[in-house]
Structure 1
Amino acid sequence: MDISDKAKKNIYILWLLVVPLGIYLAYEYAPMRQIDWGILSLLIVLALLTTIFPFFISGTTMFLVQWVTLAVYLNYGILAELLVMQLCLIPIAYHMKTNRENAYRIVYSSFMFFLVSVICGTIAHLLGFELGSLVVQDVLIYGSIYAILYILLNHLFLYVRELFTGQKPKFFTKDFGWDLIGLLITLPFGLSLYFLQSYVGTSAFWLLGIPFILITLLIRLYSDSEKVNSDLNKASEFGHELAERMTSKEIIDMFIERIANMFPMDAAYIVDDLYGSFEILRAIEDGENKDLHFAHEELEKSLAGIVYEKGVPTLYNKQSEWIHIKPPFLNLEMQSVMAVPIYRNQKIEGVLVLASRNKYSFEAYQLKIIHLLCSYFAVSVEKAKYVRDAVAKSERCELTKLHNYRYLDRQLESDMEKLSLGQYNSLSLIMMDIDKFKAVNDTFGHHSGNLILQEFAQIIKREIGSGGTVARYGGEEFVILLPNYTKIEALNIAEQLRRKIEQTPFIVQADLDRAASEKIIFITASIGVSTAPDDSDEGMSLLRNADRALYTGAKQAGRNRVAEYVR
């Protein structure tokens, strides 16, 4: 529940105005019975133990303390019950991982439980219940009314709280259902504890209290094992999903997103070792990506660098355990921290750091699961690298290192789609062909021809830079895609390239001569230009138009010239 600072302040003020005064009024006017302090002390201990060891079922935490507080009310009245319930908020606050930021929640719970205790007790008294009664029928009826009202009012207050914080609450939630089940389980225990304590005294705590606590512990152990198994299953599914991602960015994005959903964290950082220097590969704080940069020395001396050096996953439960090795990226709001090395090929490549504002936010077993997930992550990144290299190799010309026709075809389709969507204003295509290249091969040999192709490709690549896509179309033909270039601009670029090639001396090895030697030759190129959407609104037509301009407007007109496509 996220609320404003003003709302939090109002909760504190409301508690101060209502609860202290309400306790005093309950002391003055609420029906009371002579207290047996020995019995009440045992009831308090039992109530605290019950809240210290809650049930965990299907992700719901159940503090089944009402069976004890019911016995307190039936014995000693509203004041005793509400005071015991207020004491039980101490272990509840611990389980809720209360800190300065969310302390208002426990204050609201105190206010809520106070009102619930007063209202339920008052209604039971108005209906005719007398404290300490041993009339079975009365105790069963009024005790049941008290317990049922307690559950209903508790969830009514929760519903109202969420309503006033702008959420869309539901009254009949999963938690409400589990509380009703808890009521059915514990109501007989509460009534039995009251009767048994009334007849046999302190022995009732041994006969009912201790078995109940032991049952709670057994259920907790079972629940913990189920949670571990559930998290392991999620980790396994997560590993398979990571393996299906093909790019490093997809893998990193999914890894961070799933980690954030699986664990109670407020921030996550991947510290990467890039060529011997640490940097923040990815950072997410409160669900938002952050671009963080720090000096290698700062990161190396922090807990991230220490965990990297030792290679051992480490869990810090509170700030005092890591503050002396505080990383520069962690703010002082954080308490719990997990730092896990990321291994790839038995070598540490980086460190994952998770942080929470709450103390003791992470469990020890979660550290092992994170370590497992980091292994999945590293393997997936390595696989993506191999896939990327394989794809790049399949889309590159081995000789010139330019993109090949396969890449060009896909890029042309992508650029034309962006043009149709209005992301580009125009798209120009330049097709180039080396003049009389066959004669070069026949005169100097194919090795010299390959050297010319390599140097020719580098000239085009240097001249175009990042402004366009350069690809080898086939043989001695090359294609350039220029997004957002008009035909006039593309013609100017083409003319600059033609002049550059014409003026560049190419060194060849005259292998066909009796004595091998290096020679300098000059070559020229014919060039055709076509532009979309002026000349075409379809990718292959744009390519054919440039090809037609190349051969009819440049080659047939004498070579070594630039021609534009004309309808």
Structure 2
Amino acid sequence: MNYTHKAKRIMAIMWLVCVPLGTVLVYLKSPTHLTNWEHYGYFLLLALLSSIFPFFIAGSTIILVLWVNMAIFLKFGLLAEIISMQLCMFPLVYHMKINRQTLYKYFFNSFMFFGLSLLCGSLVMALGYEIGNLNLKDVVIYGSIYAISYILLNHIILYIREYVCGFNPVLLTKDFYWEVSCLLMTLPFGLSLYLFESSIGTTALWLLGIPLISITLLIRMYSNSEKVNADLNKASEFGHQLAERMTGKEILDMFLERLANMFPIDCGYIVDNVDDQFFILRAMEDGVNKEIQCSHEDIKYSLAGKVYEKGVPVLYKKQSEWNYMMPPFLADDMQSLMCVPIYRNQRIEGVLILAAREKYAFEPYQLKIVHLLCSYFAVSLEKARYVKEAVEKSEICELTKIHNYRYLDKQLELDMKKIEEGKYHSVSLIMIDIDKFKVVNDTYGHHSGNLILQEFARIISQEIGSSGTVARYGGEEFVILLPNYSKLQAFSIAEQLRRKVEQTPFIVQLDLDDVSREEIIFITASIGVASAPEDSEEGMGLLRNADRALYVGAKQAGRNRVAEYVK
């Protein structure tokens, strides 16, 4: 959640006004002042140990320190518990990875825990509890009230904060249920710790504290492994999704976006190297794709160039570790950084850079996962390249080297769709048929016929250029698609093509005689023209109408002419 600067200032002011002064007032007004410093030191040590080892369950961070602080309150009073909780904030600051930009988190949490200690302790004492009371019934009742009210008020305060800051908070979150579950587990330990310590001394702290901290460490190890397994499962799913993408653009679009969902990154860059020249292939900053231009030299002598040269992934936890080789495209406020080489066919092709504004944002195991994902990424790009080449090959006529009917059918559908969307005002189609081509084959042989088809395709492609799509329709028939050309303009182009073909000498080889020799012949072509949407609003209808104009208006009228479709 992103809090405004005003909200962050208010959190700092609340802490400054309430916590120092409030602690002094509690010292002056508290019914019990701290006297047994040695015993309190043992309790405080146990509380600090409990706060040092948080663990994660289903995405919730759990810190088992309340059971010790409850025992501290029951034995030493409100002031001792406040001091303990505030000191436990320092391990929390480390685990929360607080820096200058996120210092407001410390102020708010310190203020909140001070308020919780004050409210819960005052409530229990108002209900009649006396500090140091060893009556079993009173200890169980008042200790339970203290712990339960602490959990409830904690989430109520968090709910109020989110509501005031304009978010959409939920009171009973999964964090609440997990904290209640952990409270049910640790409450007996806290009550027993207070009673046993009063009976047998500080030995009780070790008898109860060491087993519970050991259990906490085991849960932490298990939860960490579960988190790693969860991230590996996400990486595996991510890899499959990359493999399903058929184009390089789809893979590039997906890669950085999904990495941002998996890891706490604020920006990501894919640095490519082609012909020993570095450039930014793709960049994403705060979830938005960016176009970034950087010189080859600037990238080469930065961290990106060094990782490319060494071929080893690196992880930095704060900017001071890498700012002397800062890439020129990285913002000055970035702290944590991962830089991973991208291998393809055992050769480094580029470098991936992921950065975050928070210090210690990345874990070492995450670097390994990103390295694995870079392998998926490179393999997927390679596969997409092969797929693209295969598709292009399947859409090219092997003989004439122009598009075939498969491509024509797809392109015609796309062009007609653009008319529907208003992107094109018209699409004209020219169908061309070589006159008396069977006679050519019978007279000069099929090899000569193939030479004529090749040269014919070259002439059409050269004349049309990038203005339209040229494809072999089948046999000696060819089709030209001209987007945004009227029928009159298409008719004019068709007439130019007809004259060009008529005037062009074609060289054939006479393989049917005993002696092979070359000969120059001239051919003609008949052409039909139709346009959408005036002649048809469907692609196949447009083809049929051009074909009808070709045979009725050109072939039957004597060949070597252009005819337009007439309804």
TM over 0.5: yes
1:203 equivalent in alignment to 2:200 = no
The residue number in structure 1 matching 2:288 is 288
The residue number in structure 2 matching 1:113 is 113
TM-score, normalised via structure 1 length: 0.93
The residue number in structure 1 matching 2:251 is 251
TM-score, normalised via structure 2 length: 0.93
The residue number in structure 2 matching 1:309 is 309
SS at match of 2:71: helix
CA contact 2:431–2:550 (8 Å) conserved in 1: yes
Alignment of 1:53-68 (within 5 A): 53-68=53-68
Alignment of 1:36-435 (within 5 A): 36-435=36-435
Aligned partner letter, 2:90: I
Separation in structure 2 between the aligned mates of residue 28 and residue 117 of structure 1, nearest angstrom: 16
Deviation at 1:152, TM superposition (A): 0.3
Give per-residue Cα distances to partners, 1:422-470, cap 9 Å, x unaligned.
4433222111223344454455554444344333323333443344322
Deviation at 1:534, TM superposition (A): 0.8
Deviation at 1:305, TM superposition (A): 2.1
Give per-residue Cα distances to partners, 1:292-351, cap 9 Å, x unaligned.
222222222222222222222222222122222222222122222122222222222222
CA contact 2:34–2:80 (8 Å) conserved in 1: no
Aligned partner letter, 2:194: Y
The residue number in structure 1 matching 2:489 is 489
Separation in structure 1 between the aligned mates of residue 341 and residue 174 of structure 2, nearest angstrom: 38
SS at match of 2:88: helix
Deviation at 1:361, TM superposition (A): 1.6
Aligned partner letter, 1:405: Y
Alignment of 1:10-25 (within 5 A): 10-25=10-25
SS at match of 1:343: strand
Give per-residue Cα distances to partners, 1:345-397, cap 9 Å, x unaligned.
22222222221222222222222222222222222222222222222211110
Deviation at 1:493, TM superposition (A): 3.2
Separation in structure 2 between the aligned mates of residue 109 and residue 460 of structure 1, nearest angstrom: 75
Number of residue pairs the alignment of both structures matches: 567
Aligned partner letter, 1:204: A
Separation in structure 2 between the aligned mates of residue 276 and residue 496 of structure 1, nearest angstrom: 46
Separation in structure 2 between the aligned mates of residue 80 and residue 501 of structure 1, nearest angstrom: 101
* TM-aligned CA distance change 1:459 to 1:275, over 3 Å: farther
CA contact 1:269–1:283 (8 Å) conserved in 2: yes
Separation in structure 2 between the aligned mates of residue 107 and residue 437 of structure 1, nearest angstrom: 88
Does 65-74 or 232-241 show the bigger shift? 232-241
* TM-aligned CA distance change 1:301 to 1:510, over 3 Å: farther
Separation in structure 2 between the aligned mates of residue 34 and residue 18 of structure 1, nearest angstrom: 21
Aligned partner letter, 1:244: E
CA contact 1:33–1:132 (8 Å) conserved in 2: no
Separation in structure 2 between the aligned mates of residue 111 and residue 190 of structure 1, nearest angstrom: 24
The residue number in structure 2 matching 1:9 is 9
* TM-aligned CA distance change 1:490 to 1:103, over 3 Å: farther
CA contact 2:334–2:355 (8 Å) conserved in 1: yes
Separation in structure 1 between the aligned mates of residue 226 and residue 353 of structure 2, nearest angstrom: 26
Separation in structure 1 between the aligned mates of residue 277 and residue 24 of structure 2, nearest angstrom: 65
Separation in structure 2 between the aligned mates of residue 458 and residue 516 of structure 1, nearest angstrom: 25
* TM-aligned CA distance change 1:20 to 1:460, over 3 Å: farther
Aligned partner letter, 1:492: S
Separation in structure 1 between the aligned mates of residue 77 and residue 486 of structure 2, nearest angstrom: 88
1:477 equivalent in alignment to 2:477 = yes
SS at match of 2:537: coil
Does 138-147 or 26-35 show the bigger shift? 26-35
Separation in structure 1 between the aligned mates of residue 344 and residue 364 of structure 2, nearest angstrom: 23
Separation in structure 2 between the aligned mates of residue 249 and residue 98 of structure 1, nearest angstrom: 38
CA contact 2:342–2:374 (8 Å) conserved in 1: yes
Give per-residue Cα distances to partners, 1:261-294, cap 9 Å, x unaligned.
2222222222222233222222222111112222
Does 535-544 or 269-278 show the bigger shift? 269-278
Q: Percent identity?
A: 66
Separation in structure 1 between the aligned mates of residue 332 and residue 301 of structure 2, nearest angstrom: 17
Separation in structure 2 between the aligned mates of residue 304 and residue 454 of structure 1, nearest angstrom: 49
The residue number in structure 2 matching 1:550 is 550
Aligned partner letter, 2:156: L
CA contact 1:400–1:453 (8 Å) conserved in 2: yes
SS at match of 2:243: helix
Structure 2 unaligned blocks of 5 or more? none
Separation in structure 2 between the aligned mates of residue 430 and residue 220 of structure 1, nearest angstrom: 72
1:538 equivalent in alignment to 2:538 = yes
CA contact 2:431–2:477 (8 Å) conserved in 1: yes
* TM-aligned CA distance change 1:142 to 1:340, over 3 Å: same
Give per-residue Cα distances to partners, 1:231-279, cap 9 Å, x unaligned.
2233223323322222222233333333222222222222222233222
Separation in structure 1 between the aligned mates of residue 23 and residue 501 of structure 2, nearest angstrom: 94
Aligned partner letter, 2:368: K
Aligned partner letter, 2:179: D
Separation in structure 1 between the aligned mates of residue 316 and residue 507 of structure 2, nearest angstrom: 65
Give per-residue Cα distances to partners, 1:70-111, cap 9 Å, x unaligned.
122222322322232222222212212222332222222122
Does 207-216 or 143-152 show the bigger shift? 207-216
SS at match of 1:100: coil
* TM-aligned CA distance change 1:264 to 1:473, over 3 Å: same
Separation in structure 1 between the aligned mates of residue 42 and residue 502 of structure 2, nearest angstrom: 101
Separation in structure 2 between the aligned mates of residue 157 and residue 498 of structure 1, nearest angstrom: 84
Structure 1 unaligned blocks of 5 or more? none
The residue number in structure 1 matching 2:498 is 498
* TM-aligned CA distance change 1:543 to 1:159, over 3 Å: same
Separation in structure 2 between the aligned mates of residue 2 and residue 184 of structure 1, nearest angstrom: 33
Aligned partner letter, 1:189: F
Deviation at 1:523, TM superposition (A): 4.3
Deviation at 1:519, TM superposition (A): 5.8
Separation in structure 1 between the aligned mates of residue 174 and residue 14 of structure 2, nearest angstrom: 29
Separation in structure 2 between the aligned mates of residue 304 and residue 451 of structure 1, nearest angstrom: 53
CA contact 2:55–2:224 (8 Å) conserved in 1: no
SS at match of 1:232: helix
Separation in structure 2 between the aligned mates of residue 108 and residue 460 of structure 1, nearest angstrom: 75
Deviation at 1:544, TM superposition (A): 0.7
Does 218-227 or 122-131 show the bigger shift? 218-227
Deviation at 1:543, TM superposition (A): 0.1
Separation in structure 2 between the aligned mates of residue 499 and residue 166 of structure 1, nearest angstrom: 74
Does 356-365 or 488-497 show the bigger shift? 488-497
Does 482-491 or 110-119 show the bigger shift? 482-491
Deviation at 1:499, TM superposition (A): 4.3
CA contact 2:33–2:79 (8 Å) conserved in 1: no
CA contact 1:33–1:131 (8 Å) conserved in 2: no
Does 529-538 or 462-471 show the bigger shift? 462-471
CA contact 1:402–1:471 (8 Å) conserved in 2: yes
* TM-aligned CA distance change 1:221 to 1:421, over 3 Å: same
